[in-house]
């Protein structure tokens, strides 16, 4: 076989000859011994690896599994791992052979079987062995080599089929493998526990103290103590890295002794980084730095030890000028994260000159990009002019691949830290001049918004943009900004003969024929604004509008504008013209679309979001109070009213506004009254009861929330999901769920078959929630009974902040189940996965109905069919208070009818359940027996399922 032909044809000929020979051997009358089978199966495996198809020999390979010789069994398992697919008819025989080897207690055979399971890793393998392998792993008599293989095999199965790996008593025992004397077992177990704890953090939280203990022993040991696991004078580097990564799945230890020991470990690692190297080999420095960077990642993750954070920053600062490119890259990346911490931000700023130099001189574009990221992250009010100037300077020679990102960062920093808005206008116009092709619509939209919202900068902006347009080569984005600003504020510079109305018009019109259709459309709108601002330009502008190139333009938009503007200027009186073409009002507050675009470009959880977590997060543009946004509301501390349930959110007076969301046409904002379209989207709970009611179509701007790419399967509902739901049967506002990380509150209102629910998600920690995704689902038949649409939320929730999600609800028919809300986010290194039942119950669509006594009893008798009545006698779970009972019945949705029941102690109510398909009349009677501490509840409705559901819901409330 080693003498395969020199050409492809010769190779194929030789292979075919060998295959024919092997086939004849397998089919021959003479039985082959184990060695021959092994030899021929091995040849088939080699032929397959050369790229040729193999369609026989599988049974012979399976037969090798029953051999008692290691070499024969090894080749059999190797062949199966490579060539047998999960749909093979032989899979049952293979599984039987594997089971026999696992039960043999021969460590070599057990390892071979475990390796085969892990290599195949199919769902069928998981179904067959996922429950067996944990037993082998935690058995007291299992050898160390088998434990290693079992841990890694279980890790493989859990990654491919997590639903088939059962959690059980073995989980607490596997954690104690971190104390095993054999470091190979500890290394394998750490990988397994890290993966498991990301989905089940509570199951494995005891691993923290054991991981700290093991890490402490490794860090404090000498290189001679762990000879078998010392790599170039570094004790157990891979295990150290894995332990540090495992600790990042959890918050800082609460036990002071454990926390103190961990801090000592971190300090020891930082101290060792300062020691002279014990070897000049690159392997030594790589192993040492791997531990250091993982330790720094853990320090950043905890973000609670100022001393360690500053020391980490100083250590990374030494790497910024290291000769190794990879180290410089990693140092810049880690410092970006440190810049977001209030404890280390000032320490990071001390390296500003080094970072600026890296931006200018680094040969590797990826390192330059990280330097730009770090400058962006370390920027604050004290150094913003310097950093913006350096980034603008770099932009002229920057790589094309990162120009757009740098443009966005310059635009955000210039806006965020602008105290003098003339500087902001100059910066953005300079940005357009230097990199006009990379200035997105969001950037030039933004400068227009800010100029319109600030009276003190409008004259300067008009003068500056007028001068910029006089350049012979002028970018189209500059023409857009110029056309918009001069159309609004050209009158502020018209007193100067050098910028008279006709000069302004001629300057703009000289650019007209070089521009694209959208820009021409914007310029036509500017021209008609000129007619209002400067009557002396009316004749000139009408001549332009009247020209064939406009009235007969092939583009419908330009033609229509020309015709309408010409007619408007001809027939409208001066007052009408002034009203229609009045100056644009200030734009309403919204999150900056530039920031949103940068987040989208970089992805959630990157340094581009860090400025929201800095200590200046409550300062916006020169001390102006920030607006409270409908989607993100910052709170002063985790102990504050995170959910805002005490009062509805309200708008502030921030300059940071954005009317141009996503895809607004460049000319659309010039139309008077267009601000109304955007202010509607800022409706908040409490502003107007009518704002909570939605049309049956649920609005074109709502979308159903879907999980982000790479998100996990939703967890099962929390154990007390039904109890949490029952709390809201008789009320619409309150806290739905709370744990140590997250608080979820609800405000909702219903009218007839429609409703709107506001969910407030409050981050109780000081650490960001990353990849924050929400998914509302209707299980089973519920999707035909409820129409639910949810607006998306931001993927980042800052520490001590909240996000809000709006859910529109339409009841199509009566229902029994509740919709499910799945919340997934990454806290530190851990993915949190929570599923709750949304408190949307059929009684929410009750409309109370007042009835006289005779009408009530007449209707009561009409609903006397056994299928229409549901009755329940139950013991009181709460004190029997009359006023509380009345409040609960009213909160349930029915009208409480007075003087109807002959027994004054009884309560009766009436109402109608509204759905899109049917209306269901409902009557209820609650009879308390205070002596026996019992209730009898009777519900009568025109529909059996509704009677039973209402009875079940209401009986839980007393």
pLDDT in tens, 910-941: 999 989 888 888 999 899 988 888 899 999 99
Whether the per-residue pLDDT at 608 is higher than 80: the answer is: no
Confidence (pLDDT) at 591:
57
Whether the per-residue pLDDT at 869 is higher than 70: the answer is: yes
pLDDT in tens, 335-394: 998 888 888 888 999 999 999 998 888 888 889 889 999 999 999 888 899 999 999 998
Confidence of residue 632 (pLDDT cuts 50, 70, 90): very low
The CATH class that applies to domain 724-840 reads mainly beta
Confidence (pLDDT) at 10:
85
With a pLDDT cut of 90, the percent of the chain lying above it is 24
Confidence of residue 649 (pLDDT cuts 50, 70, 90): very low
The CATH class that applies to domain 843-956 reads alpha beta
Q: Where exactly are the structural domains of the chain? A: 84-166, 383-581, 724-840, 843-956
Confidence of residue 852 (pLDDT cuts 50, 70, 90): confident
pLDDT in tens, 794-829: 888 888 888 888 899 999 998 888 999 999 988 877
Whether the per-residue pLDDT at 188 is higher than 90: the answer is: yes
Total-model pTM: 0.58
Confidence (pLDDT) at 290:
93
Phi and psi at 758, nearest 5°, equal: -105, 120
The CATH class that applies to domain 383-581 reads mainly alpha
Residue 39 annotated as part of some ligand binding site: yes
What residues have CB less than 8 Å from 341, skipping those under 6 apart?
A: 300, 303, 309
Whether the per-residue pLDDT at 397 is higher than 70: the answer is: yes
Q: Which of 701, 718, 826, 820 is nearest to 773 (CA)?
A: 826
Confidence of residue 514 (pLDDT cuts 50, 70, 90): confident
Given a contact cutoff of 8 angstroms between Cβ atoms, the answer to whether 130 and 164 are in contact is yes
Report residue 609 as tokens: 């979001």
Q: Which of 366, 382, 600 is nearest to 374 (CA)?
A: 366
What residues have CB less than 8 Å from 621, skipping those under 6 apart?
A: 415, 416, 417, 418, 419, 654, 655, 656
Mean pLDDT of the chain: 81
Q: Is the dihedral of CA 273, 274, 279, 285 positive or negative?
A: positive
Higher pLDDT, 296 or 31: 296
Given a contact cutoff of 8 angstroms between Cβ atoms, the answer to whether 797 and 691 are in contact is no
Residue 41 annotated as part of some ligand binding site: yes
Confidence (pLDDT) at 61:
83
Confidence of residue 589 (pLDDT cuts 50, 70, 90): low
Q: Which residues of 923-939 are buried (b: 16+ CB within 10 A; e: fewer)?
A: bbbbbbeeeeeebebbb
Overall average pLDDT of the 702-721 stretch: 59
Q: 108-122, 312-326, 558-572, 663-677: which range is least confident on average?
A: 663-677
pLDDT in tens, 731-785: 888 888 888 888 898 988 888 888 999 899 988 888 888 888 988 989 888 888 8
Overall average pLDDT of the 684-705 stretch: 36
| Cα–Cα distance, 904 to 928 (Å, whole number) | 11
Residue 25 annotated as part of some ligand binding site: yes
DSSP 3-state assignment of 199? helix
Confidence (pLDDT) at 659:
27
Highest mean pLDDT among 27-31, 38-42, 235-239, 432-436: 235-239
DSSP 3-state assignment of 38? helix
Residue 159 annotated as part of some ligand binding site: no
Whether the per-residue pLDDT at 956 is higher than 50: the answer is: yes
Higher pLDDT, 682 or 138: 138
Residue 355 annotated as part of some ligand binding site: no
Strands 820-827 and 801-811: unpaired
Confidence (pLDDT) at 630:
33
């Amino acid at each position: 076989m080693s003498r395969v032909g020199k050409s492809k044809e010769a190779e194929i000929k030789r292979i075919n000859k060998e295959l024919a020979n092997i086939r004849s051997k397998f089919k021959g009358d003479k039985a082959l011994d184990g060695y021959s089978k092994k030899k021929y199966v091995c040849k088939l495996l080699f032929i397959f690896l050369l790229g040729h198809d193999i369609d026989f020999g599988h049974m012979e390979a399976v037969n090798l599994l029953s051999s008692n010789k290691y070499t024969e069994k090894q080749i059999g398992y190797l062949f199966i791992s490579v060539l047998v697919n999960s749909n093979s008819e032989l899979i049952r025989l293979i599984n039987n052979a594997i089971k026999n080897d696992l039960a043999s207690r021969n460590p070599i055979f057990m390892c071979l079987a475990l390796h085969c399971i892990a290599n195949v890793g199919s769902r069928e393998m998981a179904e067959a062995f996922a429950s067996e392998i944990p037993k082998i792993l935690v058995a007291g008599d299992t050898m160390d080599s088998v434990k290693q293989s079992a841990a890694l095999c279980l890790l493989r199965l859990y990654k491919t089929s997590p639903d088939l790996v059962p959690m059980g008593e073995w989980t607490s025992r596997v954690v104690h493998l971190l104390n095993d004397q054999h470091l190979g077992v500890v290394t394998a177990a750490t990988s397994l526990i890290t993966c498991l704890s990301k989905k089940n953090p509570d199951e494995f939280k005891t691993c923290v103290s054991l991981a700290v203990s093991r890490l402490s022993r490794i860090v404090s040991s000498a290189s001679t103590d762990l000879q078998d696991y010392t790599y170039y004078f570094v004790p157990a580097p891979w295990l150290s890295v894995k332990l540090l990564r495992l600790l990042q799945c959890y918050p800082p230890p609460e036990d002071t002794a454990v926390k103190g020991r961990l801090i000592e470990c971190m300090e020891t690692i930082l101290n060792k980084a300062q020691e002279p190297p014990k070897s000049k080999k690159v392997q030594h420095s790589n192993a040492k730095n791997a531990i250091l960077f993982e330790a720094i990642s853990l320090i950043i993750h905890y973000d609670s030890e100022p001393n360690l954070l500053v020391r980490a920053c100083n250590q990374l600062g030494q790497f910024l000028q290291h000769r190794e490119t990879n180290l410089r890259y990693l140092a810049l990346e880690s410092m970006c994260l440190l810049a977001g911490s209030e404890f280390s931000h000032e320490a990071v700023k001390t390296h500003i000159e080094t970072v600026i130099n890296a931006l200018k001189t680094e040969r590797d574009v990826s390192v330059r990009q990280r330097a730009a990221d770090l400058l962006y992250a370390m920027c604050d009010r004290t150094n913003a002019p310097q950093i913006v100037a350096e980034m603008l300077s770099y932009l002229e020679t920057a790589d094309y691949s990162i120009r757009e990102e740098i443009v966005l960062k310059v635009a955000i920093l210039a806006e965020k830290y602008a105290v003098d808005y003339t500087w902001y206008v100059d910066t953005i116009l300079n940005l357009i001049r230097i990199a006009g092709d990379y200035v997105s619509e969001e950037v030039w939209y933004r400068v227009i918004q800010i100029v319109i919202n600030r009276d003190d900068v409008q004259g300067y902006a008009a003068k500056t943009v007028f001068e910029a347009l006089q350049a012979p080569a002028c970018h189209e984005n500059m023409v857009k900004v110029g056309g918009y600003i001069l159309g609004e504020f050209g009158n502020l510079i018209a007193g100067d003969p050098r910028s008279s109305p006709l000069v302004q018009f001629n300057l703009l019109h000289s650019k007209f024929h070089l521009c694209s259709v959208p820009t021409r459309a914007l310029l036509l709108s500017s021209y008609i604004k000129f007619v209002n601002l400067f009557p002396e330009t009316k004749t000139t502008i009408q001549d332009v509008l009247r020209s064939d190139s406009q009235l007969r333009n092939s583009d419908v938009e330009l033609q229509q504008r020309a015709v309408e503007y010409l007619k408007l200027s001809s027939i409208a009186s001066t007052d009408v013209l002034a009203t229609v073409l009045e100056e644009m009002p200030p734009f309403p507050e919204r999150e900056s679309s530039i920031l949103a675009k940068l987040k989208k470009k970089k992805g959630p959880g990157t340094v581009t979001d860090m400025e929201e977590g800095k200590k200046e997060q409550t300062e916006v543009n020169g001390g102006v109070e920030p607006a409270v946004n409908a989607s993100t509301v910052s709170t002063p501390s985790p102990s504050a009213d995170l959910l805002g349930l005490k009062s509805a959110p309200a708008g502030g007076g921030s300059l940071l506004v954005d009317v141009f969301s996503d895809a607004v046409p460049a000319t659309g904002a010039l139309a008077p009254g267009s601000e109304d379209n955007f202010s509607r989207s800022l409706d908040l709970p409490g502003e107007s009861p009518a704002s909570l009611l939605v049309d049956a179509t649920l609005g074109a701007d709502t979308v159903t929330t879907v999980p982000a790419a790479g998100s996990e399967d939703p967890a099962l509902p929390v154990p007390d999901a039904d109890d949490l739901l029952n709390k809201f049967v008789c009320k619409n506002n309150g806290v739905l769920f709370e744990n140590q990380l997250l608080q979820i509150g609800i405000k909702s209102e219903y009218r007839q078959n429609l409703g709107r629910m506001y969910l407030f998600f409050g981050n109780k920690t000081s650490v960001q929630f990353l990849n924050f995704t929400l998914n509302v689902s209707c299980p089973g038949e519920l999707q035909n009974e409820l129409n639910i649409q949810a607006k998306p939320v931001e993927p980042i929730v800052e520490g001590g902040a909240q996000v809000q999600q709006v859910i529109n609800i339409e009841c199509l028919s009566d229902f029994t189940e509740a919709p499910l809300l799945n919340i997934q986010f990454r806290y530190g290194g851990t993915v949190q996965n929570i599923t709750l039942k949304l408190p949307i119950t059929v009684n929410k669509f009750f409309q109370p109905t007042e009835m006289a006594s005779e009408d009530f009893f007449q209707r009561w008798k009409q609903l006397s069919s056994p299928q229409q009545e549901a009755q329940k006698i139950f013991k009181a779970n709460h004190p029997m208070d009359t006023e509380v009972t009345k409040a609960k019945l009213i909160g349930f949705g029915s009208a409480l009818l007075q003087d109807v029941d002959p027994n004054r102690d009884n309560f009766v109510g009436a109402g109608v359940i509204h759905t899109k398909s049917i209306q269901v009349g409902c009557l209820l009677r609650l009879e308390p027996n205070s002596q026996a501490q019992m209730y009898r509840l009777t519900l009568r409705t025109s529909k059996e399922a509704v009677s039973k559901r209402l009875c079940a819901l209401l009986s839980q409330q007393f």
